[in-house]
Amino acid sequence: MATPLFLVLNVVVGSVWRDPGFSWALNNVSDLGKVSCGVSGGRQVCSPWHAVMNAGFVVTALLLLAAALLLTRFTWAGNRTCFWMSVFAVVGLGVAGVFPADVNENAHVQVAVWWRRCCI
């Protein structure tokens, strides 16, 4: 349920952007959760449904955590990679939802950099 929810949220929250619209080529997913309007990274950013996106980040993280915990007996007995990747995704998504990039850029960016180094 986490992946479809996350994808639907991206499409729905991105579709309500106006002047300028959300660009899948120019904007990043963190722009959907930014709470203020203005120029960010050379892009005009204004996400009217930022609260929905940030809540979606947190709900997606909680769903992934629940899945990781439910599958622990399978992943722990064999390959643990799935479990730990889920935990890393939970941390990344949870922090993104709790600390939007324009509210606490330091926490948001540090976790994004950490997540990218460890998980991609």
As a whole number of angstroms, the distance between CA 58 and CA 67 comes to 14
Tokens of 26: 């120019």
Reported as a single tens digit per residue, the pLDDT across 12-25 is: 999 999 888 898 88
Q: How many domains does the chain have?
A: 1
pLDDT the model gives residue 67: 83
Q: Count the helices and strands in the chain (H runs, E runs).
A: 5, 2
DSSP E strands in 27-102: the ranges are 38-40, 43-45
Q: What is the pLDDT of residue 77?
A: 62
Instruction: Provide mean pLDDT across the span 63-73.
Output: 82
Is-cis flag, bond preceding 20, omega within 30? yes
Question: Domain residues for 37?
Answer: 2-119
In this structure, what token pair is assigned to residue 38?
Answer: 């203005």
